[in-house]
Structure 1
Amino acid sequence: MKDFVVTTSFKTDPEKLAEAVALANAFQVPYLERGKASIRRIIGDKEGALVVYKDKLLFRSNTGETLSFHPDTAMLRIKAPRDPLSELIGSSPFQILDTTMGLASDSIVMAYAGHQVTALESDPLIHLIVSQGLKRFVSGNDQIDHAMRRIKTQCVDSLAFLKAAPDQSVDVIYCDPMFSENITESENLSGLASLANPARMTPEFLAEAKRVARQKIILKAHFKDSSFETLGFDRLVRPNTKFHFGVIDVSSTRLSQS
């Protein structure tokens, strides 16, 4: 998205004003002084506005959709007695490549469990808002804050990243693409509809993932999605849930082929 503007909150300071101007220059979009104008008025006929607040960045579209960073979902999962993704990965510290960062909930949970996480996001606005949130957000829990700060992010197309990656250079590759079925309460869709990359997993992507992963590839998808069977994942059925996990154990495959 290029047709947006950058502004600040009503109450700002020279540091945040300079940040807003720098972001406008980086995205090559207009900076508009906020003054007393509403966000709706600032947006005008543009697609949206990126607003620099004291403690966060927020994008608001011309339809009223908003995107900002908050690790609430990850925090709830961390506090829960068990987390299916964490159990699936295991307790041994792994190098994990999250190819679909989005709001980074999965990345935070994995980093909190002690894994070394690199998260990829193809959309520059999502990457900016979430990566800055990971660096700045104060949750009130030092361990969660430390986990967020340890996550490395890159704004890059995940397939392009995999093609450039060396063979067997990460332990686990995690994929959470946009669901084929609409889940209105899904964090993947909330606030991201106009920005998120709708690309699905393809055989080309999977072939590169198999080359780059040392241990396993994990796919999260809607329970009606046929990608598990089509692409050769072992589906892990989760009763009474709207999404399942699928796993390809590349380490076992290499052993059987050697």
Structure 2
Amino acid sequence: MRVPLAVTTSAKPNEQLVSQAQSAARQWGVPFFSRHPKESITPWFDSRAEALIVFGHDGVTLWDREGHHGFHAGMAHLRRLRLAEGEPDTFVRVAELRKGDAVLDCTLGLGQDALVASLAVGPEGRVVGVEKSLALYAIVSEGLKTYELGPDSCRVEVVHADTHEYLRTLPSRSFDVVYFDPMFARPTKSQPGFDVLRRFADHAPLTPEALQEGRRVARRWVVVKGSRHSDDLRKLGLSPEPGSRYTDVVWGRVASL
């Protein structure tokens, strides 16, 4: 019987890599599969696991029968470079992020906006990213361990939890900005890796109840990313913020309670 997710290593691991992979499997509560030298993992998708977290000498990679994806900053790296040069970033502008802010990213995904926020709030700030999908949590949390944020950023704290349940555990007004980036119902053109995100991410829409919890937890704003081709923002009572008409992404925000 196949399991939903398991951990293994690259084909020629050393003892340290095997130990690291085994430790992660225990922490995540998933099986660890030993791999023989030169053994292909492709047949495993028919018999052993629907997806695999593979620990290799060059990092951690998520595999399924459709492909694989390792952690990388992607467009966030370019956005961070531009932000460091004083150029505007739409997310930072709409959220009005300031040095020292605490930001809660309720839909971490591949960590793109969280990485930008970590630079915007600086080393004295705080960024917490919540990810419900164990597979995405695994590659992002492991990837962030080796990503060089630099001295001008705070680290990104990654939490594996259901966002709605996690929000209910937080004190009121405990974060300056609460951010939601729910999965678009209609795919848009995007950077590499988004196909993986769509396969493994939680597709549940943002509910009015979660938005209200976000407003309770926020000190200033709740920011929501949406699609120009969707009425999701309108259903939540949000109006798009002014922005470029040449992008499929729209932004809404609402003040804290």
Q: Fold match, TM over 0.5?
A: yes
**Structure 1 position 176, deviation (Å):** 0.3
The answer to which of 3-12 and 100-109 deviates more is 3-12
Contact 1:55–1:136 (Cα < 8 Å) also in 2: no
Contact 1:123–1:155 (Cα < 8 Å) also in 2: yes
Counterpart position of 1:172: 177
Percent sequence identity is: 27
Counterpart position of 2:198: 193
Contact 1:98–1:175 (Cα < 8 Å) also in 2: yes
Counterpart position of 2:227: 222
Secondary structure of 1:173's partner? strand
Q: Residue 96 of structure 1 is aligned with which of 91, 103, 121?
A: 103
- Distance in 2 (CA, whole Å) between partners of 1:205 and 1:243 is 21
**Structure 1 position 216, deviation (Å):** 0.5
Secondary structure of 2:197's partner? coil
Q: CA 1:228–1:44 in 2, change beyond 3 Å: closer, same or farther?
A: closer
- Distance in 2 (CA, whole Å) between partners of 1:198 and 1:104 is 17
Task: Give the alignment's Cα RMSD to 1 decimal.
Answer: 2.2
Counterpart position of 2:4: 3
1:171 corresponds to which letter in structure 2? Answer: D
Cα deviations by residue, 1:188-232 (Å, 9 ceiling, x for unpaired): 733123311001111111121121111011000111221222212
Cα deviations by residue, 1:4-60 (Å, 9 ceiling, x for unpaired): 442211232111011222334443324132411123134442312221112311111
Secondary structure of 1:235's partner? coil
Q: Residue 54 of structure 2 is aligned with which of 48, 51, 55?
A: 51
Check if 1:87 corresponds to 2:93. yes
Q: CA 1:39–1:96 in 2, change beyond 3 Å: closer, same or farther?
A: same
Runs of at least 5 residues in structure 2 that lack an aligned partner in the other structure: none
1:134 corresponds to which letter in structure 2? Answer: L
1:84 corresponds to which letter in structure 2? Answer: T
Contact 1:73–1:105 (Cα < 8 Å) also in 2: yes
Q: CA 1:44–1:55 in 2, change beyond 3 Å: closer, same or farther?
A: same
1:104 corresponds to which letter in structure 2? Answer: G
Counterpart position of 2:126: 116
Q: TM-score, normalised by structure 2?
A: 0.87
- Distance in 2 (CA, whole Å) between partners of 1:119 and 1:84 is 19
- Distance in 2 (CA, whole Å) between partners of 1:39 and 1:247 is 44
Secondary structure of 2:138's partner? helix
Counterpart position of 2:150: 142
The answer to which of 124-133 and 3-12 deviates more is 3-12
Check if 1:202 corresponds to 2:183. no
The answer to which of 49-58 and 105-114 deviates more is 49-58
Contact 1:24–1:31 (Cα < 8 Å) also in 2: no
Cα deviations by residue, 1:80-135 (Å, 9 ceiling, x for unpaired): 33211112223523111000001111000011112421110011221121011111
**How many residues of Structure 1 are paired with residues of Structure 2 in the alignment?**
245
